[in-house]
């Protein structure tokens, strides 16, 4: 068990039984609500019940998937709390991936001007990314995460036990964020990752902990993304465009699959704009291709992809904003390049 302490809450990594029971014993909540979806109800809720003394609680079930991360589902959650006469002394437990963490946290943070919540992430992505950094929210008018706020949970309990039932595709999706953390800030972590061949035989704690340490360092220095937090956008400028593009196609990609492709392209850009060596770029590309395969990015997609990149909220003064690498393990923010170089990076990826 490892505890990572942030300014006003702790992240417990490892078996959650001891720390969660202690947390519950030390608090006096009037009611407890557990938010699940159909998958976490089936696979994670029984583990939670088996290990804790949560005799009295209400279960709120929502439908899984990004398409339900919206105001309608929030209404359902708030209504359930209202019907149960939830006062301001209740606790909300978010048991699920990033969708439940973001949306359950948002509902808790706004219900009666805010009640306590804890995060129990159950996907690799939520373990290493969405459970830390205090961003809560929902999608609105087709814009991802457009309504929300920053608010800290009372605690986070990360237990890789939940990953046993997570589909491999979702594991790969979360791994992309760990790869990103290694590439932007921790060469040792990257070296550990690149030796992994079989994703079913990984000691996840040894990757989750350094990954969280990096995100913690970054969000503590720059909670509102004024500067260093932007390093976490590595791979995301081109990756988000690929993700949005794929979403409209018949073969949508997971977030991590798109970000993996984006990281290959932005690693290439780092050789053009910064001093990353070709050998380092090849090392990144060959590992990512081995794990994720290759998404087909045809020349005819380029103009759409560039248009999507130009709409990115991270841009300023009409220029596409990138985070790039100076070497493996070190990132630099607010980088720009010619459109032609962005196209070249897509061609580089397509030709690998």
Ligand X SMILES: NC(=O)c1ccc[n+]([C@@H]2O[C@H](COP(=O)([O-])OP(=O)(O)OC[C@H]3O[C@@H](n4cnc5c(N)ncnc54)[C@H](O)[C@@H]3O)[C@@H](O)[C@H]2O)c1
Query: Of 94, 119, 130, 270, which lies in the binding site for ligand X, with binding defined by CB under 6 A?
Result: 130
Range 60-89, binding ligand X (CB under 6 A):
64-66, 69
3-class SS of residue 12: strand
H or E element at residue 39: helix 38-43
Structure tokens at 328: 């493996």
Residue at shortest CB range from ligand X = 98
- C-alpha 350/C-alpha 352 separation (Å) is 6
Residue pair 109/124 in contact (Cβ under 8 Å)? The answer is: no
> How near is the Cβ of 166 to ligand X at its closest, in Å?
4
Q: With binding defined as CB under 6 A, does residue 234 bind ligand X?
A: no
Structure tokens at 352: 């690998």
Structure tokens at 240: 């988000």
Q: With binding defined as CB under 6 A, does residue 171 bind ligand X?
A: no
Q: With binding defined as CB under 6 A, does residue 157 bind ligand X?
A: no
**Nearest 10 degrees: CA dihedral of 323, 210, 214, 265?**
10
Q: With binding defined as CB under 6 A, does residue 170 bind ligand X?
A: yes
H or E element at residue 272: helix 255-273
> How near is the Cβ of 46 to ligand X at its closest, in Å?
11
Q: Which stretch binds ligand X (CB under 6 A): 74-82, 123-131, 199-207, 299-307?
A: 123-131
Q: With binding defined as CB under 6 A, does residue 262 bind ligand X?
A: no
Nearer to ligand X, 86 or 232 (CB): 232
Q: With binding defined as CB under 6 A, does residue 122 bind ligand X?
A: yes
Q: With binding defined as CB under 6 A, does residue 19 bind ligand X?
A: no
Q: Which stretch binds ligand X (CB under 6 A): 92-100, 300-308, 314-322, 331-339?
A: 92-100
Query: Of 165, 205, 315, 330, which lies in the binding site for ligand X, with binding defined by CB under 6 A?
Result: 165
DSSP line for 171-195: HHHHHHHHHHHHHHH-HHHHHHHTT
Query: Of 13, 23, 32, 37, which lies in the binding site for ligand X, with binding defined by CB under 6 A?
Result: 37
Q: With binding defined as CB under 6 A, does residue 244 bind ligand X?
A: no
Q: With binding defined as CB under 6 A, does residue 160 bind ligand X?
A: no
Instruction: Say which residue the tokens 């990954």 belong to.
Output: 211
Nearer to ligand X, 103 or 284 (CB): 103
Structure tokens at 73: 């589902």
> How near is the Cβ of 161 to ligand X at its closest, in Å?
9
Query: Of 90, 125, 193, 241, which lies in the binding site for ligand X, with binding defined by CB under 6 A?
Result: 125
Query: Of 162, 234, 301, 349, which lies in the binding site for ligand X, with binding defined by CB under 6 A?
Result: 162
- CA-nearest of 32, 120, 106, 38 to 71 is 106
Those residues whose C-beta lies under 8 Å from the C-beta of residue 276, and which sit 6 or more positions away, are 267, 270, 324, 325, 326, 327, 328
Q: With binding defined as CB under 6 A, does residue 99 bind ligand X?
A: yes
- C-alpha 95/C-alpha 114 separation (Å) is 18
Residues noted as catalytic: 113, 135, 177, 215, 225, 229, 233, 236, 240, 255
Helix, strand, coil percentages (3-state) for the chain, rounded to 5, are: 55, 20, 30
Please give the residue ranges that form the binding site for ligand X (CB under 6 A). 37, 39-40, 43-44, 64-66, 69, 96-100, 102, 122-123, 125-126, 129-130, 133, 135, 144-145, 162, 165-166, 170, 173
């Amino acid at each position: 068990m490892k505890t990572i302490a942030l300014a006003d809450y702790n992240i417990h990594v490892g078996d959650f039984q001891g720390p969660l029971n202690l947390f519950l014993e030390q608090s006096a909540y009037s009611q407890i609500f557990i938010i699940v979806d159909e998958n976490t109800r089936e696979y994670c809720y029984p583990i939670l019940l088996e290990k804790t003394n949560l005799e009295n609680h209400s279960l709120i079930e929502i439908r899984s998937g990004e398409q339900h991360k919206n105001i309608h589902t929030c209404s359902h959650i708030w209504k359930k709390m209202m019907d149960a006469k939830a006062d301001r002394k209740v606790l909300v437990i978010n048991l699920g991936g990033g969708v439940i963490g973001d949306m359950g946290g948002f509902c808790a943070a706004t219900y009666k001007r805010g009640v306590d919540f804890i995060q129990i992430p159950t996907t690799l992505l939520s373990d290493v990314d969405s459970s830390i950094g205090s961003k809560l929210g929902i999608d609105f008018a087709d814009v991802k995460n457009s309504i929300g706020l920053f608010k800290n949970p009372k605690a986070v309990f990360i237990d890789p036990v939940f990953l046993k039932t997570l589909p491999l595709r979702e594991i790969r999706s979360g791994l992309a964020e760990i790869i990103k953390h290694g590439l932007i800030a921790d060469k040792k972590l990257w070296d550990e990752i690149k030796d992994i061949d079989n994703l079913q035989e990984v000691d996840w704690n040894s990757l989750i902990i350094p990954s969280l340490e990096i995100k913690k360092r970054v969000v503590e220095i720059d909670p509102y993304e004024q500067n260093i937090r932007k390093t976490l956008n590595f791979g995301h400028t081109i990756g988000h465009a690929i993700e949005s593009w794929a979403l409209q196609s018949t073969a949508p990609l997971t977030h991590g699959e798109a970000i993996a492709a984006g990281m290959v392209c932005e690693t290439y850009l780092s050789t053009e704009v910064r001093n990353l060596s070709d050998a380092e770029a090849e090392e990144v590309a060959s590992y990512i291709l081995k794990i994720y395969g290759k998404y087909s990015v045809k020349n005819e997609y380029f103009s759409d992809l560039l248009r999507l990149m130009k709409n990115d909220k991270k841009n300023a003064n009409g220029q596409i904003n990138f985070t790039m690498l100076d070497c493996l393990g070190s990132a630099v923010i607010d980088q720009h390049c010619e459109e032609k170089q962005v196209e070249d990076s897509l061609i580089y990826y397509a030709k690998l």
